[in-house]
Amino acid sequence: MSINVVRYENRSDIGLVVISNPPVNAISPEVTEGLRKALDTFDADSEAKALVVHCEGRTFVAGGDIGSFEAPDFDTRPFSSVLSRLDASPRPVVATLHGTVLGGGLELAMACHFRLALPATRLGMPEVKLGLLPGSQGTQRLPRLAGVPLALDLILTGRLIAAQDALSAGIIDDVADGDPLALGFAAAERIAETKVTVRRTSTMKIAVNAATTRALSEAAASVAKKPAYPALSAIVRSVDAAVNLPFHEGEEVEARAFEQLRLSDTSRALRHLFFAERAAARVPGLAPAGRPREVCSVGIVGAGTMGGGIAMNFANVGIPVVLVETTDDALNRGLATVRKNYEASAAKGKLSTEQVEKRLSLLSGRLDYASLSNCDLVIEAVFENLQIKKDVCARLGRVCKEGAVIATNTSTLDVDVLAEATARPADVVGMHFFSPANVMRLLEVVRGAKTAPDVLSTAMQVSRRIGKTPVVSGVCYGFIGNRMLEPYMRETEFLLLEGALPEQIDAAIESLGMAMGPCRMSDLSGVDVGAKVVNGQAEAGELPPDPHYRPVVRKLFELGRHGQKTQTGYYRYEGRIPKPDPTVATICVDLGRQHGITRRGDITDQEIIQRLMYTLINEGIQILDEGVSYRPGDVDVVWTAGYGFPDYRGGPLYMADQIGLAEIQKTLEHYGRVRGDQFGYWTPSRLLNELVATGQRLGAWTKE
């Protein structure tokens, strides 16, 4: 098997090792074994004056094979020992780098004696994003090459750097344009000819000075604040070992930490999300009719909160955007907000003035729909009102050119109804951005009943192009995320009426690692936004037949307590700081009395977590059963990328497997008994019952 992924040859007395393990040349056990054998051959090849390490395809090695980390007997040491052999080679070893040189790839490169990269190459140590640390000498070699401050920065953040910056930092030795193999051979010839002593990273000394000591102690203090991510402190300890211990002892410290982290719940959850995000980008059964349409220009209808933010995404990647509004005022307001946002980024040093002007020059504003007639993709982001949206969609159906994709950013309306309004439903797809649309990673791509395969794949491709994490949802009220939010908010309100305070509910939920509890979240997104949704449902006759359903949000709205924007909501605000507000307790006592709900003093954090999270999980499983979502991992991506669910818990459905589905079923039934289940709030979904009955886990479940 190793013959396929690694080969050795001698070309004009230079040894060549080629790794060929598509798509990203990840280091699998087979690659390690192939490298070991290739080195045996090189050792025996006395004609070879030097060795070139090269990768075929789109990139040099982009890391260890993350899938192989699941194997119980996984071991980093065979790969590390290959690296030690390269490092110790008496003949020069040259690595030719291109693409993304990441994790184990950078470790491999650093074990070679000379590294040259193509100009577009990017390098990094992203293991931390998987809850790991570099496991094959990376924490020992990088500080030796780049110094402790930069090594800590790169390993702790996982950020990538450009080849030129890596050159300036001493991580690589040359940047050159051309054929990487030819460049590698030329360098190997040159180095072999000069017969200079090769530079081995393992023998380099780290300067111990004030900067080193300060970087280590600052890093230690900063990671101590993030105990949910144990990899961080392990990284600091390993870099400390690089500074204070001989190379091979430091390597042992690192290897032990890697093994512990690999087996940790945190890393398992983060690895689950790595693959879930990539799986979410695949739409089952789409090829070959689903080749995406080309998108070179975008139109956006409505330059309000969402329209402006959506436009920024496209301008950021160089795609021209025309924004259409109803009045000059609305248009100018929208464009001014976009300018303000860009200027705020420039003030923080994230963008240069030229970049701001370049992006703004890609945006234009119009009051006529005819200016949309040349756009490849048009996204409507007008008021959330069915009649207005139907009118807008009908106009778009007439004005958009043949082959254009028409997308709606509706949060709650029926995408199929809007699609029919265009009279060309095959061209229509939902693109549900999250607020702030220029910041939030998640994008729910809503597949209508008649959405053409190529329209769906266009939406997926364009989402990735603008740096979003797309997840496909079927059509239903609230799609994946907001639909699951519904029981979560419902139970929040019941708990408030029963005697829990906003700060108690938020603290319990935040103790799980959620970025914000439900009350703080409502205040941030706008109590008015939430109340309008509930009121809209009431008008449409779509509320559950429960007379006690969600009175709190409607009351706060009625009182003008719209959240942070009015400085009062579930809390009162000092700037952005929420302060408990006794008025809210009084409002809840009054509402509780009106609704005949008995107040209790014994609501525990555990009850809060179970009632909010288990109903949310139950809804997520129901969504899978209905086919609204393709996979449990898609639901996890929605919640971690869009709703502040802690990534180190892997998402709500991953967490459900950790809690145990039988436990969740039993707890739902318990609340059904003690609280009454006349509205079906506590009924376990059909699929949950089936999974429990058959002893299955969600992680192994597929629709087929």
Select which of 107, 254, 493, 619 is catalytic. 107
Would you count residue 309 as binding ligand 3HC (CB under 6 A)?
no
Positions 200 through 259 that interact with ligand 3HC (CB under 6 A):
none
How far is residue 216's CA from residue 219's CA, in Å, rounded to a whole number? Answer: 5
Q: Encoding tokens for residue 59?
A: 């990139």
- Residue 341 interacts, among ligand 3HC, ligand NAI, none and using kind-specific CB cut-offs from 5 to 8 Å, with none
How far is residue 588's CA from residue 185's CA, in Å, rounded to a whole number? Answer: 75
- Residue 564 interacts, among ligand 3HC, ligand NAI, none and using kind-specific CB cut-offs from 5 to 8 Å, with none
Would you count residue 644 as binding ligand NAI (CB under 6 A)?
no
Q: Which secondary structure element, helix H or strand E, spans residue 460, and what is its range?
A: helix 453-465
Q: How far is CA 479 from the centre of its chain?
A: 19
Whether 483 contacts 623, CB under 8 Å: yes
Pairing mode, strands 572-574 and 577-579 = antiparallel
- Residue 214 interacts, among ligand 3HC, ligand NAI, none and using kind-specific CB cut-offs from 5 to 8 Å, with none
Q: Which is nearer to ligand NAI, 266 or 313 (CB)?
A: 313
Q: Which is nearer to ligand 3HC, 159 or 395 (CB)?
A: 159
Whether 291 contacts 454, CB under 8 Å: yes
How far is residue 425's CA from residue 406's CA, in Å, rounded to a whole number? Answer: 9
- CA separation, residue 358 to residues 188, 255, 296, 337 (Å): 43, 47, 16, 16
Whose structure tokens read 């996979």? 631
Would you count residue 304 as binding ligand NAI (CB under 6 A)?
yes
Residue 45 DSSP code: -
Would you count residue 127 as binding ligand 3HC (CB under 6 A)?
yes
How far is residue 530's CA from residue 469's CA, in Å, rounded to a whole number? Answer: 24
Whether 523 contacts 517, CB under 8 Å: no
Q: Encoding tokens for residue 255?
A: 């290897």
Q: Encoding tokens for residue 363?
A: 């945006």
Select which of 47, 127, 354, 493 is catalytic. 127
Work out how close the CB of 22 gets to ligand 3HC at its nearest, in angstroms, rounded to a whole number.
Answer: 8
Q: How far is CA 681 from the centre of its chain?
A: 31
- Residue 254 interacts, among ligand 3HC, ligand NAI, none and using kind-specific CB cut-offs from 5 to 8 Å, with none
Work out how close the CB of 19 gets to ligand 3HC at its nearest, in angstroms, rounded to a whole number.
Answer: 13
How far is residue 630's CA from residue 624's CA, in Å, rounded to a whole number? Answer: 6
Positions 256 through 295 that interact with ligand 3HC (CB under 6 A):
278
Whether 496 contacts 502, CB under 8 Å: yes
Residue in 25, 136, 411, 458 binding ligand 3HC, rule: CB under 6 A: 136
Would you count residue 373 as binding ligand NAI (CB under 6 A)?
no
- Residue 474 interacts, among ligand NAI, ligand 3HC, none and using kind-specific CB cut-offs from 5 to 8 Å, with none
Between CA 410 and CA 414, with CA 413 as vertex, the angle to 5 degrees is 115
Sequence-distant (≥ 6) Cβ neighbours of residue 499 within 8 angstroms: 588, 592, 599, 600, 601, 603
Whose structure tokens read 């240069």? 352
How far is residue 100's CA from residue 163's CA, in Å, rounded to a whole number? Answer: 10
Q: Which is nearer to ligand NAI, 434 or 614 (CB)?
A: 434
Omega before 246 within 30 of 0, i.e. cis: no
Would you count residue 662 as binding ligand NAI (CB under 6 A)?
no
Work out how close the CB of 395 gets to ligand NAI at its nearest, in angstroms, rounded to a whole number.
Answer: 8
SS3 of 236, please? helix
Q: Which is nearer to ligand NAI, 264 or 566 (CB)?
A: 566
Residue in 48, 148, 198, 301 binding ligand NAI, rule: CB under 6 A: 301
Interacting span for ligand NAI (CB under 6 A) from 406-414, 501-509, 513-521, 679-687: 406-414
User: What are the two backbone dihedrals, phi and then psi, of residue 293, each rounded to the nearest 5 degrees?
Assistant: -80, 155
Would you count residue 321 as binding ligand NAI (CB under 6 A)?
no
Pairing mode, strands 93-97 and 50-55 = parallel
Please indicate whether residue 107 is annotated as part of the active site: yes
Would you count residue 27 as binding ligand NAI (CB under 6 A)?
no
- Residue 410 interacts, among ligand NAI, ligand 3HC, none and using kind-specific CB cut-offs from 5 to 8 Å, with ligand NAI
Residue 147 identity (one-letter amino acid): G
Interacting span for ligand 3HC (CB under 6 A) from 21-29, 566-574, 616-624, 664-672: 21-29
- Residue 601 interacts, among ligand 3HC, ligand NAI, none and using kind-specific CB cut-offs from 5 to 8 Å, with none
Residue in 126, 250, 307, 651 binding ligand 3HC, rule: CB under 6 A: 126
- Residue 127 interacts, among ligand 3HC, ligand NAI, none and using kind-specific CB cut-offs from 5 to 8 Å, with ligand 3HC
- Residue 119 interacts, among ligand 3HC, ligand NAI, none and using kind-specific CB cut-offs from 5 to 8 Å, with none
Closest CA to 519 of 534, 504, 533: 504
Work out how close the CB of 132 gets to ligand 3HC at its nearest, in angstroms, rounded to a whole number.
Answer: 6
- Residue 435 interacts, among ligand 3HC, ligand NAI, none and using kind-specific CB cut-offs from 5 to 8 Å, with ligand NAI
SS3 of 338, please? helix
Q: Which is nearer to ligand 3HC, 52 or 160 (CB)?
A: 160
Omega before 551 within 30 of 0, i.e. cis: no
Residue 27 DSSP code: B
Positions 498 through 537 that interact with ligand NAI (CB under 6 A):
525, 529
- Give me the 70-109 binding string for ligand 3HC, x by CB under 6 A, dash otherwise: ------x-----------------------x-xxx--x--
Would you count residue 530 as binding ligand 3HC (CB under 6 A)?
no
User: What are the two backbone dihedrals, phi and then psi, of residue 155, each rounded to the nearest 5 degrees?
Assistant: -75, -35
- Residue 651 interacts, among ligand 3HC, ligand NAI, none and using kind-specific CB cut-offs from 5 to 8 Å, with none
- CA separation, residue 178 to residues 119, 131, 193, 381 (Å): 9, 36, 22, 46
Whether 173 contacts 114, CB under 8 Å: yes
Please indicate whether residue 444 is annotated as part of the active site: no
- Residue 470 interacts, among ligand 3HC, ligand NAI, none and using kind-specific CB cut-offs from 5 to 8 Å, with none
Would you count residue 392 as binding ligand 3HC (CB under 6 A)?
no
Would you count residue 647 as binding ligand 3HC (CB under 6 A)?
no
Work out how close the CB of 479 gets to ligand NAI at its nearest, in angstroms, rounded to a whole number.
Answer: 10
Closest CA to 301 of 417, 396, 418, 379: 379
Interacting span for ligand 3HC (CB under 6 A) from 60-68, 241-249, 370-378, 638-646: 60-68
Work out how close the CB of 529 gets to ligand NAI at its nearest, in angstroms, rounded to a whole number.
Answer: 6
Q: Encoding tokens for residue 48?
A: 């070879």
Work out how close the CB of 124 gets to ligand 3HC at its nearest, in angstroms, rounded to a whole number.
Answer: 8
Sequence-distant (≥ 6) Cβ neighbours of residue 649 within 8 angstroms: 269, 512, 513, 655, 658
Would you count residue 24 as binding ligand 3HC (CB under 6 A)?
yes
Q: How far is CA 65 from the centre of its chain?
A: 19
Return residues touching ligand 3HC (CB under 6 A).
23-24, 26, 62-67, 76, 100, 102-104, 107, 126-127, 130, 132, 134-136, 138, 278
Return residues touching ligand NAI (CB under 6 A).
301-307, 324-326, 330, 381-384, 388, 392, 409-411, 433-435, 525, 529
Instruction: Provide the annotated active-site residues.
Output: 107, 127
